[in-house]
Structure 1
Amino acid sequence: MSAADTKAADPAVPVQRHPEEIGSPPRKGGRPPRKAGALLPYLLIAPAFVAIAAVFAWPLVKTVIMSFQDVGRRELWTGEAPPWVGFDKFTEILGDGEFWDVVLRTVVFMAACVIATMGVGLLLAQTMQRMSPWVRMLLTAGLVAAWSMPLLVATSIFRWFADSDYGVVNMILTKYLGLDFQGHNWFLDPKQGFVIIGAVVVWGAIPFVAITLYAALTQVPRELEEAAALDGAGAFGVFRFVTWPVIKPVFQMVATLSVIWDFNVFGQIFLMRGNKPEPEYAVLGIYSFDKAFESNSFSQGAAISLITVLLLSGVAVYYLRQLLKIGEVE
């Protein structure tokens, strides 16, 4: 045995190692040292976080602060520090019967719009499955064009449709269906008016719902549908036991988004009623706007906005859970 081997075998003799073989000492807790490049992703998304904070986070903080103050026109124009009133604004709002009438009207309008949107969107998506490719491409282009149409243009078209003197709806009901709707004003009765406004909302939301659900339907295995049909299942049975389980997560996600969007409807009502909606057409968005800018009670408007956020927080949590479930499945 050589001297070198004897030295290596003897535990009392330290073994000499090359400097490159000696790494940095292990960190406390056994974690490897953080590489400098690990911070690069955070640096890349930092501008986006700054922009989001400037556009969303800071206004939200200001809204929260205003809801606990008594901000009037004087404080808004002069910059004077408004007095703090604590929860007085929330107490006034929650104790007002008109507020709860507005909440009920908002929920009913939202539910009707979501049900109509999801129903028509699902039927249209299933119809797109049975179209030839070029017809489906034309329909998809039309849906995208309708979805990208500015809200002002869409509301102007529907106002013309429902016009009492020159409206297409009155002309069709009178001339072709034999009904007496000549000169009928659809907005005198809020129930009829909300039908027209709801048509604007549904028309603008259907393209997104139909295209998204069609994409989900393309993931349903054809073999399973054919096997269910061979086993004697009808069209409804195939949809219930084969198609629906596959598209259910996407359907729930889109429905949740529709709930959030339709709960916050503002522009359609505001524009359809000539920028000054009547109290009978007030939903939470319109009600908050009226309190803030018509009654000059900016703190009440801020408090109503926060209550709306709290009402929608549960829906937002459900939406995030659906996103996480879809991510886990994928």
Structure 2
Amino acid sequence: MTVHSQGAATSAPQDAPPKSAGRPKAPTTAPGSSHPVPPRGGRKSLPSGWLPYLLIGPAILSLAVLLLYPLIKNVILSFQDINKVEFIQRKYPFAGFDNYTELLGDSTFWTVVVRSFAFTLANVALIMALGSLIGILLNRLGKWMRLVLSMALVMAWAMPIVASVQVFQWLFDEQFGVMNWVMRTVGFSGYDRHNWFETGLSTLTIVTILVVWGSIPFVALNMYAGLTTVGGELYEAARMDGANGWQTFWKIVFPNLKPFFLITTFLEVIWVFKAFTQVYAMKKGGPDRASEILPVFAYVEGQSQAHYGLAAAISVLTIVILVIVMSFYFRLILKQEEEQ
């Protein structure tokens, strides 16, 4: 022990081993082994292979509850004979394939199927053609004009469907419609109180204008984004070879943006084929159910006619038809990916 001049004493010899503060640390490896020992009382780590499944688990559960369960219930309902009386009495008699047999033998159903395909084909062709042209225009405009046109496209795209349907009903109104006024102003006769919704064909034509108007912005803006990835040297080489605008599109633009055209067309086919709101909100499938497409046909049969089992069968057949059509398109997309 050493005594200082102030009288304080130090009691630790210089060669004594230092004491560690706190608990002694547990060994990190097992005796006689090189494998690490997990710390006691700590949180056990999950196997790394489980983490991706835990992350996507909530999404899969939500899809199962919101989509898979209603789909299964709808398929079961399609095999039952449920009308208004059975629904009130809560009786669910099994009908087998009677609903499907009735539909497949009904000429009205096949008329609606043909009408749905014609409606989809016309809309998708117009959307892709006009949207691509406007996308090319966006690529060639100056900065400020491109900004103005892009804002107009976004505003048209963001407009709610029901509100846009109301606007088109005003435009084509029989008494106060703008279209009748324009036709009279141009000099056409017979448009004093012309009914633009007189036939199913004219009604679907107006709905087609509405659908195309609301879908062009998506194609145009994506087309412009795709064109920005095409190098300017390719256009310069095409001009040096004497190619015109049409040849430049087919030789330069289309090959480079072929995946864009395939995916966008695929999405548009799905969106247009199941276009329910525009058709039903315009005239509820009228006049005389002459403008119904498959989603509207199923809704009218189920809600207006109270043929719930038959309506479920229509919706199931709609899904089957769409899956069959899309399978050919999926094959085309996979073939395109294999070629790249």
**TM-score, with length taken from structure 1:** 0.84
The within-5 A match list for 1:115-194 is 115-194=125-204
Pair 1:53-2:87 in alignment: no
Identity %: 36
Structure richer in helix, relative to its length: 1
Query: In structure 2, what is the Cα distance between the partners aligned to 1:322 and 1:43?
Result: 34
Deviations 1:245-264 (A, max 9, x none): 01121112111111111111
Aligned twin of 1:257: 267
Pair 1:111-2:121 in alignment: yes
The question of whether the paired residues in 2 share the 8 Å contact of 1:253 and 1:319 is answered with: no
Paired residue secondary structure (2:316): helix
The question of whether the paired residues in 1 share the 8 Å contact of 2:301 and 2:310 is answered with: yes
Paired residue secondary structure (2:257): helix
Give, in angstroms, the shift of residue 37 of structure 1.
2.6
Deviates more, 1:270-279 or 1:232-241: 270-279
**What is the identity, as a one-letter code, of the residue corresponding to 2:55?**
L
* Distance change (3 Å), C-alpha of 1:78 and 1:243: same
Deviations 1:81-102 (A, max 9, x none): x121111110000000111111
Give, in angstroms, the shift of residue 312 of structure 1.
0.5
Aligned twin of 2:48: 37
* Distance change (3 Å), C-alpha of 1:306 and 1:163: same
Deviations 1:174-210 (A, max 9, x none): 1135444221110112222221111111111111111
Query: In structure 2, what is the Cα distance between the partners aligned to 1:289 and 1:313?
Result: 20
Deviations 1:272-308 (A, max 9, x none): 1168653111111111112112221111101010111
Query: In structure 1, what is the Cα distance between the partners aligned to 2:123 and 2:154?
Result: 20
Pair 1:71-2:78 in alignment: no
Give, in angstroms, the shift of residue 223 of structure 1.
0.7
Aligned twin of 1:287: 297
Deviations 1:50-83 (A, max 9, x none): 1111111111001110111112234434543x12
Deviations 1:102-160 (A, max 9, x none): 11111111111111111110110000001112322232222222112111100000000
**Larger Rg, first or second structure (1 or 2):** 2
Aligned twin of 1:199: 209
**What is the identity, as a one-letter code, of the residue corresponding to 1:239?**
F
**What is the identity, as a one-letter code, of the residue corresponding to 1:134?**
W
Matched pairs, number: 303
Alignment match of 1:95 (pick from 100, 105, 126): 105
Pair 1:238-2:252 in alignment: no
**What is the identity, as a one-letter code, of the residue corresponding to 2:65?**
A
Aligned twin of 1:19: 33
Consecutive unaligned residues in structure 1, runs of 5 or more:
1-16, 24-33
The question of whether the paired residues in 2 share the 8 Å contact of 1:68 and 1:86 is answered with: yes
The question of whether the paired residues in 1 share the 8 Å contact of 2:285 and 2:292 is answered with: no
Aligned twin of 2:320: 310
